[in-house]
Structure 1
Amino acid sequence: MTRDFDPAGDGAQMDFDGRMSYGDYLRLDRILDAQAVRTTAHDEMLFIIQHQTSELWMKLAIHELSAARAAIARDDLAPAMKMLARVSRIFEQLNNAWDVLRTMTPADYTHFRRELGQSSGFQSWQYRMIEYVLGNRNHAMLKPHEHRPEVLAKLAAELATPSLYDEVLRLAQRRGVVMPEAVLTRDVRETHRFDDAVVEAWAGVYRAPEAHWQLYELAEKLVDFEDYFRRWRFNHVTTVERVIGFKRGTGGTGGVSYLKRMLEVELFPELWRVRTSL
């Protein structure tokens, strides 16, 4: 009979009295104690973990997007490319998570939906931070966070900072691709609006990628990311429609109708339209 393998015989540390363990480093006691179900409904645990893990991935996305923006601002594109590629993979993970949540049926959800009160995903301050970093700067969405001054301060600070796309357009200008002065000097607290002259500037990059390789590659990294981001929004809509139909959201929004409106938002509009002009 084969004896069970003892890792200690191969040098593995097995005694953690006074030493850093896996659980200590990751603070797993705090994470695994954070699932406070309010009902006996079996699927409530799924619902909580789905949203908690999404918030963890969004925390990492903010970390990466902020660092990528800072790298672009200092003309350090190599790490920025890596960070943007990582954010795309993060949103691939977020997309895959909808497949798990869709195993919850409408009947399953009704057993605990009432316990959500007025809470809703659109109140996620980290999601709002991602939108602000990317340039969708809807000031009306500050309102749900007014009861938390520390969160409101973070979002307000982000609104006063050039968005990721703002920094990309400024980089293009520094690299000799002329961008409209009105775009470069606009109030960064407001959402960037589509500009034909920006399309034409990007068209010059796309017509001669060998002359602007880093800008061309950066532009495609942004398109790649927005592709995943759009899929995430679409999967959100279809999951909500599958589970609650066209009921109003718990936070008072129109539910599916509200989410479908969000599908129309373009983060980097000129990078999508430039394809038509080539």
Structure 2
Amino acid sequence: MKDRDGDLELGLPAAFADWLTRREPADAVARVVDLADQVRARLTGTRPVVVHDLGSGTGAMGRWLAPRLPGPQHWVLHDGDASLLARAAADPPPAAADGSPVTVETRRGDLTRLTATELAEADLITASALLDMLTAEEVGRVAAACAGRPALFTLSVVGHVRLDPADPLDVEVASAFDDHQRRTVRGRRLLGPDAVADTAAAFARQGAVVTSRSSPWRLGPADAGLLGEWFSGWTDAAQEQRPQLAGPLTGYVRRRRADLAAGRLSVLVDHRDLLALPTVNS
């Protein structure tokens, strides 16, 4: 399934929301618990923790992280799509780790135009599967808006996919997909697999200490439905980027579909989670 693209304020097809729902269990397994533990250690206080979640989608990040954090929490969900925000509000995070209540509000708008003033109340800023859809300029603005606050960004693609069993066309398809992730959309050149490095550098310029960890999807026969949907989006994007692959892809897709049907196909789709912590003086 291809990521959303274009203006981050525009509405998205319902199929995208359904894709987010189907991928939520795999995302939950992949996210790095160690980084969440580091966040929890920083959030000590008596007042409710305020979390701003950027590109909240259907609210999966809150459902994963809120139960790992102690004490009352208030989540502010930012997205450009009203239907996604409605779905997120209808399925809010459960109680905090100690049973404290978690509340939610939604804010619709362009994530790339948020300012430090709009995020001033945040004790923590989060995002998931967002950075690779931004440009270098937009990542710089996001880092500046988050300056001085802990930020946890999870599940950004890094351009590493490994299928088992291997096929001679794997490398070319992966390369075409990575180029598609870096494409220019309405004048915006997306960072794609370069997003984590650019974001780490942007936060470092703001004086933050940045840690990143691998957070791969590992899909196999037990995940056949999600694996098949991911594979269709992966190959569709590769062909869109390089139309000359249409011929070779016909046989490739047939072989891979046979592997999937026989229960012998598995894939590692690597991502990275990034935690930016402000230094004491920032």
Q: TM-score, normalised by structure 1?
A: 0.25
Structure showing the higher helix proportion among its residues: 1
Name the TM-score, length of structure 2 as normaliser.
0.25
Whichever of the two has the greater Rg, that structure is 1
Q: Which has the higher strand share?
A: 2
